[in-house]
A and B are shown apart, each in its own frame.
Chain A
């Protein structure tokens, strides 16, 4: 290829670039200033700045009512890991919640998405039906499920009793409370992931499946050899977002159990909330938030590392 006779990339004199701007430069800069800079400013004010404040608070003994906030270094962090009787429990509950609920969600969402993808005629109806719970308020859903789980009059126990199965106090017993909350969250979130996975499935060209069929590949072989690899990016997207969402779980546990019984459903965010706004220990709550933020960052990086796909199509 012949070298360009006029280069805008290699100015010969300082200031030459300013005189030879590419076509559309002005409109691009206008977009930057009117479109991108305000958004960046919004991020700075509402995301980066609060993160900075949280980092500052995490190093101080800050009580909303106290006249001073002395610097205490990493004491909040060491207290959390060595003395707080409930921090590690909340951390464990959060991780358990995420580690169980994310695969559980995908375990249901993927077959449903596959099924919807296979029935083009009724797809819109079913898609709407599965997505409907997602648009409901999480508080309302939590309240409804709380009544479903009621030990004496709840529908679940009524149904179990009708078929002779053992009834439970689902939300009042530590052994079952977290599972009951998880089931509610998965039920409501399922539709969102179904929708994303369905979009991913519809993006896979039919040519691959046709070629595989020609080669004699069966349904399972096509799923393992074509669908899963080519759905990899979508699965990564879904799993990362769901994982982040579940690591920040708050609404369901706050409404359904308040973190009980005996702290068995107390997630990190709920614990942070109670420390910050009930105990008025904003500094300590901030330190725990920093720990959670680090965990989310690490988990997300790990997901990108282990779930990344090298397939392109």
Chain B
């Protein structure tokens, strides 16, 4: 699943995407109809799935309204109730835009639910203001080994953890491939190194009479992928994008400059993709499923969306060749998981953590991930046979999970990504040269960090 933003079209597109995601699973066709139907329908402000029960400990839980997530959450509640008859989970869900405001306003006013489903990147900020309850000591033991570092990174602050992730938010290391278009371009074998990727992309790119791309060889110029690819290219050279203080970024290293130039060259020199070809819609992966892209760097969450909307397209999901070195190292954000309100009554917090821990048990987590078509956050489910049997294309994703590292304290995710994206685009449009664009990106990110945490 891609990274949701707190505002903007991208966020809504992502949510619709994940809704249709679950819908696309062949083994869960009943979800497909529900998810697809639910997307265009105006959502109610809130929906209460389960109500308080007298005589039981009522623990409230808020989540967003993605139909697949709601179904999976409800299943978890049913199982937990069966195993814990003394506790009643009072479950409400909200449309995305409402949910984000609801969290902010609820924590501000002190009337938020006992636990919430929260995107990992937001957790650090809420935890920093003392609003979240740390994971109880007993559950925190072995936490680092239990979850992938990339999935759990944003849940940690000052040597404590403030929630449990349910998914590994993967956008790196894999790509969609259209074998027919590659074959048509004379590419018979999948590229195994970076140069091979560039060569194949060049061969598979087509242009119109105004030299505009009509078929992209390697699609990566969307807001997420430009940044994820850039950070991965730095990491694969054995370098880092963080400055020595661990707070600011340093994009003036040789590795960063080389990565930036080579990424810019994909557009300016090799001309295998061009952001201006796609308009303003964030869902550019749709072009792949329309048969207009030979290779596309995207997370696996787009697969069911494409299968649902464009059935019949023969495609594959494979590992991208590393840019440098032999390992496909990458940076990832922490995805969706559960947090507990620090101000909730002690017994509610205790029951909430029990429920969260219950959902994170491999058998439950597997079913939750299957139902939502998300990648498990727990290492125990690495290459899980049941998941691979249901969704064989996820094999490529599983192969790279251990190579991911948490992206780090980006502070304001949207502005971090936007700074890199905008300056990359400015370079591609000829507004600034590559070196200036990289300097500006660094300045804008560090200014944002200073603004957020203080210089």
Cβ–Cβ contact B104 & A152, under 8 A: no
Residues of B contacting A79 with CB < 8 Å?
451
Residues of A contacting B275 with CB < 8 Å?
172
Q: C-beta contact mask, B416-450 vs A, less than 8 Å → 1, else 0?
A: 00000010011001010000000000011001000
Q: A66-B129, A174-B429 are in contact. Are A169 and B277 (CB under 8 A)?
A: yes
Give A67 to B342 CA distance when docked, in angstroms.
Answer: 13
Q: C-beta contact mask, B356-374 vs A, less than 8 Å → 1, else 0?
A: 0000000000000000000
Question: Is A85's beta carbon under 8 Å from chain B?
Answer: yes
Question: Is A27's beta carbon under 8 Å from chain B?
Answer: no
**What is the chain A residue whose CB lies nearest that of B424?**
A262
Residues of B contacting A257 with CB < 8 Å?
280
- Which of A85, A151, A152 has a CB less than 8 Å from the CB of B444? A85
Give A260 to B451 CA distance when docked, in angstroms.
Answer: 22
Residues of A contacting B444 with CB < 8 Å?
85
Residues of A contacting B429 with CB < 8 Å?
173-174, 262
Question: Is A263's beta carbon under 8 Å from chain B?
Answer: yes
Residues of A contacting B426 with CB < 8 Å?
262
Question: Is A121's beta carbon under 8 Å from chain B?
Answer: no
* Among A123-131, A219-227, A276-284, A302-310, the stretch in contact with B: A276-284
**What is the chain B residue whose CB lies nearest that of A281?**
B451
Residues of B contacting A167 with CB < 8 Å?
210, 212
**What is the chain A residue whose CB lies nearest that of B223?**
A260
Q: A173-B429, A258-B8, A280-B104 are in contact. Are A65 and B277 (CB under 8 A)?
A: no
Cβ–Cβ contact A278 & B414, under 8 A: yes
Interface members, chain A 140-157 (any B CB < 8 Å): 146, 149-152, 154
Give A274 to B414 CA distance when docked, in angstroms.
Answer: 10
Nearest chain B CB to A179's CB is how many angstroms away? 15
**What is the chain B residue whose CB lies nearest that of A277?**
B7
Main secondary structure of the interface of A (DSSP, over half): loop
Question: Is A92's beta carbon under 8 Å from chain B?
Answer: no
Q: C-beta contact mask, A49-85 vs B, less than 8 Å → 1, else 0?
A: 0000000000000011111000000000001000111
Most buried by B among A146, A152, A280: A152
Question: Is B146's beta carbon under 8 Å from chain A?
Answer: no
Cβ–Cβ contact A65 & B129, under 8 A: yes
Question: Is A135's beta carbon under 8 Å from chain B?
Answer: no
Residues of B contacting A260 with CB < 8 Å?
280, 422
Q: A166-B210, A262-B425, A280-B104 are in contact. Are A152 and B279 (CB under 8 A)?
A: yes
Residues of B contacting A280 with CB < 8 Å?
104, 125
**What is the chain B residue whose CB lies nearest that of A146?**
B280
Cβ–Cβ contact B108 & A65, under 8 A: yes
**What is the chain A residue whose CB lies nearest that of B209?**
A161
Cβ–Cβ contact B210 & A169, under 8 A: no
- Which of B126, B279, B422 has a CB less than 8 Å from the CB of A169? B279
- Which of A83, A84, A171 has a CB less than 8 Å from the CB of B279? A171
Cβ–Cβ contact B447 & A85, under 8 A: yes
Residues of B contacting A66 with CB < 8 Å?
129
- Which of B104, B107, B277 has a CB less than 8 Å from the CB of A151? B277
Q: C-beta contact mask, A167-190 vs B, less than 8 Å → 1, else 0?
A: 101011110000000000000000
Interface members, chain B 95-115 (any A CB < 8 Å): 101, 104-105, 107-108
Residues of A contacting B447 with CB < 8 Å?
83-85
Question: Is B6's beta carbon under 8 Å from chain A?
Answer: yes
Q: A85-B443, A262-B422 are in contact. Are A172 and B276 (CB under 8 A)?
A: yes
**What is the chain A residue whose CB lies nearest that of B422?**
A262
Question: Is B268's beta carbon under 8 Å from chain A?
Answer: no
Question: Is B270's beta carbon under 8 Å from chain A?
Answer: no
Cβ–Cβ contact B210 & A258, under 8 A: no
Cβ–Cβ contact A67 & B101, under 8 A: no
Residues of B contacting A262 with CB < 8 Å?
422, 425-426, 429, 431
- Which of A65, A67, A277, A279 has a CB less than 8 Å from the CB of B415? A279
Residues of B contacting A174 with CB < 8 Å?
429, 431
Question: Is A256's beta carbon under 8 Å from chain B?
Answer: yes
Question: Is A229's beta carbon under 8 Å from chain B?
Answer: no
Cβ–Cβ contact B131 & A65, under 8 A: yes
**What is the chain A residue whose CB lies nearest that of B276?**
A169
Cβ–Cβ contact B280 & A258, under 8 A: yes
Cβ–Cβ contact B276 & A173, under 8 A: yes
Listed from nearest, the 10 A-B pairs whose CB atoms lie closest are A169-B276, A172-B276, A278-B7, A150-B279, A262-B422, A65-B129, A278-B6, A171-B280, A64-B104, A64-B108
User: Which residues in B have some Cβ–Cβ distance to A below 8 Å?
Assistant: 5-9, 101, 104-105, 107-108, 125-126, 129-131, 210, 212, 275-280, 412, 414-415, 422, 425-426, 429, 431, 443-444, 447, 451-452
User: Which residues in A have some Cβ–Cβ distance to B below 8 Å?
Assistant: 63-67, 79, 83-85, 146, 149-152, 154, 166-167, 169, 171-174, 256-258, 260-263, 273-274, 277-281
Could you list 15 examples of A-B contacts with CB < 8 Å? A65-B104, A65-B131, A67-B129, A85-B443, A146-B279, A151-B277, A152-B279, A258-B9, A260-B280, A260-B422, A262-B422, A262-B431, A274-B7, A277-B6, A280-B125
